[in-house]
Amino acid sequence: MPRPVHPLLPGLVVAARLGWGGLLLLTPGRLTRPVAPPTSPAVATLRVLGARHLVQAATTIRWHGSVVFATGAAVDGIHSMAALALAAVDRRQRRSAALDAAVAAALAVLGVVIAAHQEDR
């Protein structure tokens, strides 16, 4: 039987995802300004990513089992790799893409930890 994670960790990860997704959706220009110019494509991309985070958080709230966290971790891992690829090819977006990759990678790692140690309900 897997050793459970701290009982607050799954909820904290979902809350962080909700907050991050909301910020990306509602204030993308303000978020990107310190690291890259808020171009129209960048703002639109951040809004789409914010919506993705909100959908993923809602899905996790609804079906909060280890399979959902593992699937979410896979999505976050793919997101992180795509952001790293963007950072490699677009000099103007390099800093913001690297930051986005780091956030997605952190969420992926947390998702794997929760999935590996959480008992399904």
Please write the tens of the pLDDT for every residue from 68-94: 999 999 999 999 999 999 999 989 889
Tokens, residue 51:
């919506």
Question: Which positions ≥6 away from 7 have C-beta within 8 Å?
Answer: none
**Encoding tokens for residue 107?**
């969420």
How much is the average pLDDT of 5-31? 94
- One-letter amino acid at 80 equals S
pTM value?
0.91
Instruction: Tell me the CA distances in angstroms from 4 to 53, 102, 111, 116, 121, one per residue in order.
Output: 25, 26, 13, 9, 12
